[in-house]
Amino acid sequence: MEKPTTKLSAQDRVILFCVATGIDHGAAGILAQAMQSMAIRGFIAHNRENGAYTLTDSGRATLTAILEDAAVVTTDDRSVPLT
């Protein structure tokens, strides 16, 4: 069975990582249009007042799944919290 995370492009994955870590998407070469697409798809939310992006529950779960697949995050007490 195909995992939902396999449907994400490399750019989508970079966006999730940038939002989770607070890296400016522009500095990573991600255009505003791509950020808007991820927001429309429900992975991130945009605060229009301060311009900040945050992960939605869906985005957080997706990034966690990506990191678990890569053996970066474990599901025990040593897991990396994603804000």
Residue 26: which pLDDT band, with cuts at 50, 70 and 90?
very high
pLDDT band at 48 (very low <50, low <70, confident <90, very high): very high
Please list, in sequence order, all residues whose beta carbon lies within 8 angstroms of the beta carbon of residue 30, skipping any fewer than 6 positions away: 11, 14, 15, 18
Q: Nearest 5°: CA angle at 42, between 58 and 44?
A: 80
- What's the mean pLDDT in 27-54? 95
56-74 per-position pLDDT tens digit: 999 999 999 998 888 765 5
Whether 76 has a pLDDT exceeding 90, the answer reads no
Q: Which CATH class is domain 10-69?
A: mainly alpha
Residue 49 has pLDDT above 60, yes or no: yes
Give residue limits of the domains in the chain. 10-69
The DSSP code sequence of 4-62 is GGGGS-HHHHHHHHHHHHT--TTTTT--HHHHHHHHHTTSEEE-TTT--EEE-HHHHHH
